[in-house]
Structure 1
């Protein structure tokens, strides 16, 4: 079939959108379209490409960290630490308007630094916090937005499976990306915290504080004990994973094994261990890992066809057409493309499609590679909140109490997507937020 590269690429993405809107699994849509358009584009036999790329992925040692980080998250969830810490943080902020929403944001930051996956954080926060907020009269949009946005921090704050994939595709060490993402991740957490605090201060009915009876039910000594019991173990886990990488004691794959082992120890220490609970955690980790690796394989095939059909040249020409605005004009064009793709394509697909094109362009413009990849990571976080393929929205819809509509969730996440865009602007203006820590801790 003979057609222009522009038309061919447009048809690929149109078919992708249709497949996703029909509810088919992302991995099968990406992989299936790769095979279909590969043959339609006259690219020869597709099976060797399928087998070769699949083999390269499943034999890539860096990807071993993905299932281990996911196992760490499922074990930590079964340990029950999050619920105890949530109750403590509720009372820490108890007298402030929006106290539960503020607790959700802070706990999401802590939980993000111990899991590395978004789904576990969103589901856990939803099950714990949504009933508590709605029962106290919180605005549905604020409640759903805080839970969804806070949960997506798990994909940016290290350890993050997204950063593991980015490290593999960019050739930058996982440790350097983990270090670079920490500052922007905390910045987004501060922006979310500030938004909830300011909004509920202006409109207290959107997020009432805890009642005096609830606040008085926990003494100061009890609150300190609750914080120590439930906060110290996650901090130990964070240091065990990130510290071992940054100090050069362990590789990211070895550190993920350390994290999974520590999560198992915490599960035992909190008396939540049982063979059934362990089997359930392993089974859920296996299913999630298979889904992630499946999407990586499907996206890799889709990207191969996309690039061989001339998609790289199409996107490159589009980006470089803004060079009359200078290097920052080209940068803004690349960030805008990533943001728009987030409405249509899974984050894995975006990474595999854009990295081979954008990284050489950014290098030619003189941008620091670690900083540029982190900017992409911040931008990609929005893809979890934007319909129609925003995973956080569907995780949340499946766990919220009855009465919360999908429309409430869409309206609730909009201000937080705007805050993510603001985060990109702030880190662009102050690059040291992402570049300073990697220069001190993670080298090579």
Structure 2
């Protein structure tokens, strides 16, 4: 077999092992080192230590010399260097801080206050409770960026109230599942940090580029919720005065000040300091983490146990992301050294695709990968395969990253592997069936596709803010 054929075998075996359920990070590292040992094998370099042995050498000298010859392969140097590169990456240092902010906010009892306030404030809108749940999901998802946490907490908080208010179970479930995924796209998004580290695109420009598409997607979700509530009132009945009592304006404003504004201010402070160049993403994430701790103390929700849980979950998730990067870097380096990247590039060019067709093909592949894989695995492992092709088709990596972020919403919403649906089913009342949840997320999935089409047709939605703030 030629080296490029071995590279393709390496990629094929990796996909097989993933579907068999092997841990992805360790599979990447094992295959990178295994195939890399072959790729970097140099018989002269590896066995020259035996020249020092003579007939009087002991068994220990023989075995130690053999081991020295075995490890005298550049793949081990590559592995150590790539590990150090990941651990010293300044972009990735923001990940644990943003995660910690999210886990602290999740435990600060802010969400129940926020949902109650928005429910009362929007009671005159069609589908008011759905609107309140969606906006709460968007704010909470933006603050945490952790899909499972948002869907689970909002499922425990909002879903029972929506069902009690006679909302259609499918409609209510779709709102929570779709709203919980918004943190992947809307800054400060951890997914965008990971994409920036993988692609070399400025995280500041990515945050600016993602802001308007994120608002467009939220607007499409709200349009669907309100529009369907008007056209089909039975799915979202208007609340009675007993369910949502009238509130004096002064008291309502006080509720907004104490529940909505603190979280909104924290998000805007973090995001604003990044976009206006007042702080780096890592410094802004530190501010966010400190602000999350402050909010938890203000709401009297900070306990030693909650702090320990937040630190533990932060360390666990950060370790997963970093080891994925280490494995991906080693795997990609060996794959490229064997010529696999060149084979894929030549194959794609032989298809004579237009830039639009290339984008559609790339997004279709990422959409399909979203069924068995999580967003972190797609970004770290598979997106770098597309990055060298962007220059060939004259596609801006910034634009491509925002499309990927939009597309990855679907990885949590597309049956049969819609993880948002499974998160919600795990805590939903028994009468809410999984098929109902799947049915509820489909219209929101259509909204994601509409948003992607809008980005294709009106790319300035992506480029306007980065060019306004930072120039071309």
Out of 240, 249, 252, the residue aligned to residue 223 of structure 1 is 252
Out of 127, 146, 162, the residue aligned to residue 133 of structure 1 is 162
Q: Is the 8 A contact 2:96 2:314 kept in 1?
A: yes
- Residues 304-360 of structure 1: per-residue CA shift (max 9 Å, x gap): 455456543454345434435x22222222222222222233322322344434333
- Counterpart for residue 16 of structure 1: 18
Indicate yes or no: 2:426 matched with 1:398: yes
- Residues 221-260 of structure 1: per-residue CA shift (max 9 Å, x gap): 3222211211211222123211111222211111100110
Indicate yes or no: 2:209 matched with 1:211: no
- Counterpart for residue 187 of structure 2: 158
Q: Is the 8 A contact 1:67 1:286 kept in 2?
A: yes
**125 and 320 in structure 1: CA distance in 2 versus 1, 3 angstrom threshold:** farther
Indicate yes or no: 2:368 matched with 1:340: yes
Displacement of 1:388: 5.8
Instruction: Give the alignment of 1:298-317 within 5 angstroms.
Output: 298-304=327-333, 306-308=335-337, 310-317=339-346
- Residues 247-296 of structure 1: per-residue CA shift (max 9 Å, x gap): 22211111100110111111112222233332232223233323333443
- Residues 371-390 of structure 1: per-residue CA shift (max 9 Å, x gap): 22212221122223235654
Inter-partner Cα distance in structure 1 for 2:33 and 2:374 = 18
Instruction: Give the alignment of 1:38-77 within 5 angstroms.
Output: 47-77=76-106
- Counterpart for residue 414 of structure 1: 442
Bigger Cα displacement from structure 2, 240-249 vs 220-229: 220-229
Q: Is the 8 A contact 1:327 1:365 kept in 2?
A: yes
List gaps (5 residues or longer) in structure 1. none
Inter-partner Cα distance in structure 2 for 1:178 and 1:370 = 10
Bigger Cα displacement from structure 2, 85-94 vs 278-287: 278-287
Bigger Cα displacement from structure 2, 185-194 vs 310-319: 310-319
TM-score, normalised with respect to structure 2:
0.84
- Counterpart for residue 114 of structure 1: 143
Bigger Cα displacement from structure 2, 149-158 vs 288-297: 288-297
Inter-partner Cα distance in structure 2 for 1:9 and 1:425 = 31
List gaps (5 residues or longer) in structure 2. 42-72
Instruction: Give the alignment of 1:345-360 within 5 angstroms.
Output: 345-360=373-388
Inter-partner Cα distance in structure 2 for 1:164 and 1:217 = 43
Indicate yes or no: 2:290 matched with 1:261: yes
Bigger Cα displacement from structure 2, 122-131 vs 431-440: 122-131
Indicate yes or no: 2:196 matched with 1:167: yes
Q: Is the 8 A contact 2:14 2:27 kept in 1?
A: no
Q: Which SS does the other structure have where 2:243 is aligned? A: helix
Q: Which SS does the other structure have where 1:419 is aligned? A: helix
Indicate yes or no: 2:463 matched with 1:432: no
Q: Is the 8 A contact 2:134 2:222 kept in 1?
A: yes
**412 and 35 in structure 1: CA distance in 2 versus 1, 3 angstrom threshold:** farther
Instruction: Calculate the aligned-residue CA RMSD, in Å.
Output: 2.7
Q: Is the 8 A contact 1:57 1:297 kept in 2?
A: yes
Bigger Cα displacement from structure 2, 312-321 vs 87-96: 312-321
Inter-partner Cα distance in structure 2 for 1:393 and 1:43 = 45
**322 and 413 in structure 1: CA distance in 2 versus 1, 3 angstrom threshold:** farther
Displacement of 1:429: 0.8
- Counterpart for residue 153 of structure 2: 124
State the aligned residue count: 438
Displacement of 1:430: 0.8
Out of 227, 243, 251, the residue aligned to residue 198 of structure 1 is 227
**111 and 223 in structure 1: CA distance in 2 versus 1, 3 angstrom threshold:** same
Q: Which SS does the other structure have where 1:61 is aligned? A: coil
Larger Rg: 2
**82 and 341 in structure 1: CA distance in 2 versus 1, 3 angstrom threshold:** same
Out of 9, 25, 28, the residue aligned to residue 27 of structure 1 is 25
